[in-house]
Amino acid sequence: MNKKNPLVTLLGNEKWQWLSIPIFAVLLSILAGSIVILLMGKNPLTAYLSILQGAGWIPKANYAGGTGMLTDFTSFLDALAPMIFAALAVTVGFRAGLFNIGIAGQMLLAGFFATLFVGYSDLPWYLAKPLVILIAITVGGLAAGFVGYLKHRFNISEVVSTIMLNYMIAYVTSYYIKTYFVNPVSRQSEYIQPAASLTLKNLRIAGIRVDLPIGIFLAILAALFVYYLLYKTRLGFEIKAVGANKQAAEYAGISIGRTIVVAMMISGALAGLAGATFYLGHYASMQPGVLAGLGYNAIATSLLGNNHPLGVLLASALITTLDKGATYMSSRVGVVQEISGVITSLILLFSATGTYIRYRISRQRQEQKEKQEQIHPEGGEEA
């Protein structure tokens, strides 16, 4: 009797490997993280529960006055929105065979222009909020589209050009913030007007204070849009074809240059939305000369989500949960806050083996098929 490998049974369905393999990687990393926490003399179960409590997934034992579980959860959603946008931006670039490492710079530039033209204005909310979104999409799209043009026209590596632009954007925006908009106390830019904020701050729901992020709804819609774009449209097919094999795509009549520029513009537009929800939502101000680490974390998040829009939603939620819950875990369990970074690194390390796991599963399936054919050769009698 031919016994099946349990891993092949669990992970062998190619239709669901975009989800099953990352989940398998997460489970392995949680197990490895538990070993690390045990070596520190702490209880892994308590540590993981405190992470979920800190992110608002489950209730804490007690709360400060006027706050509750909903306060923590909406704060988590507020941080989740820009992560989803940024990871989607990376995903679109990856699908086109492009490494958009300039997410942080595109976020900063989009946030700066949206802050400059709308954030300090006296426009009513019904004009200010849509304008913030429109400016962020436009600025981010143009910044990344310029990188795509350099790639197509002069074959300049998008990695090199985006890294250079990141620092150029950081220094130029830092100069203007420090010269015209700096707060003398916080040394950051002045806070934007509430009408321009994409997070409705200090709301009261059933007597509990919450910060309600508009961006989370936009981020979910953006994930659905990217899924539809990549898997249901001709442009999406062209983007994936160029990313898979430029020569074959050109032979099939696809315009390589146009596809590269358009893919980078879409990636940049998503990065711009990440900047809007980050600088005009989650924080409502800008720290001069600092590129958001979220722009780089999004690269790893996209890889964990298997560069699939729906996988990105789950991966973003996981990484943001670890980030938001780390502080509470440190105070309650006594595990240093950086341990969440270790767990995140383990997740990414195991998820990076996804290609190898697919290879091993494919190899196992092939071996099982060959054994089956030996037992029941074609045209032979079955037992």
41-74 pLDDT tens trace: 889 999 899 999 999 999 988 888 788 999 999 9
The pLDDT value recorded for residue 1 is 46
Cβ–Cβ contacts within 10 Å for residue 331, how many?
A: 12
Name residues of the chain where pLDDT drops below 70: 1-9, 12, 376-383
Per the structure, the count of domains in the chain is 1
The pLDDT value recorded for residue 367 is 79
Determine, yes or no, domain membership for 166: yes
Residue 34 in tokens: 């538990």
The pLDDT value recorded for residue 330 is 84
Determine, yes or no, domain membership for 320: yes
Determine, yes or no, domain membership for 369: no
Determine, yes or no, domain membership for 109: yes
The pLDDT value recorded for residue 296 is 85
What is the extent of the structural domain holding 169?
62-325
Determine, yes or no, domain membership for 149: yes
The pLDDT value recorded for residue 379 is 52
CATH number of 286's domain: 1.10.3470
Closest CA to 78 of 209, 166, 168, 180: 209
pLDDT tens digits, residue range 77-125?
A: 999 999 999 999 999 999 999 999 999 999 999 999 999 999 999 999 9
How far from the centroid of its chain's Cα atoms is residue 223's Cα? 10
The pLDDT value recorded for residue 129 is 97
CB 110 within 8 Å of CB 271: yes
Evaluate the CA torsion angle 38, 44, 46, 48 in order and state its sign.
Answer: positive
Determine, yes or no, domain membership for 363: no
The pLDDT value recorded for residue 152 is 92
371, burial (CB in 10 Å: exposed 0-12, middle 13-18, buried 19+):
exposed
Q: Round to whole Å and give the CA distance between 158 and 150.
A: 8
Determine, yes or no, domain membership for 184: yes
The pLDDT value recorded for residue 24 is 83
**Residue 340 — φ and ψ, nearest 5°?**
-65, -35
The pLDDT value recorded for residue 166 is 96
Determine, yes or no, domain membership for 30: no
